Amino acid sequence: MPKFYTKVDQEKCIACGLCQIKAPQIYDYTEDGLAYNLIDQNTGQMPLPDALISEFKLAYTACPTNAILRKSEPFNASPS
């Protein structure tokens, strides 16, 4: 199974809430309503557990602004 790393580009996030509905074990919100990856505090350093990949894909395709980023390797270590 390929690895997925994810983080939210909070510059693009419009706080619509869809990703947390689709993938509540992956995404949560800041006090401002912006989404972030709660698994690794939005650093994109931790691969998603295989069991969460299907819900990750639901959130990824639901995001209206393409704010959910994904890679097959860790993102650069800079929290956003």
Contact residues toward ligand SF4 (CB under 6 A) are 8, 13-19, 35, 62-65, 67-68
DSSP track, 2-67: ---EEEE-TTT-----HHHHH-TTTEEE-TTS-EEETTTTT-S-SPPPGGGHHHHHHHHHH-TT--
Q: Cβ of residue 23: shortest distance to ligand SF4, in angstroms?
A: 9
Question: Of the two residues 46 and 62, which places its CB atom closer to ligand SF4 in the complex?
Answer: 62
Question: Of the two residues 18 and 46, which places its CB atom closer to ligand SF4 in the complex?
Answer: 18
Q: Cβ of residue 6: shortest distance to ligand SF4, in angstroms?
A: 10
Q: Cβ of residue 60: shortest distance to ligand SF4, in angstroms?
A: 9
Question: Of the two residues 1 and 19, which places its CB atom closer to ligand SF4 in the complex?
Answer: 19
Return the exposure string of 5-16: e unless at least 16 CB atoms fall within 10 Å of the residue's CB, then b: bbbbbeeebeee
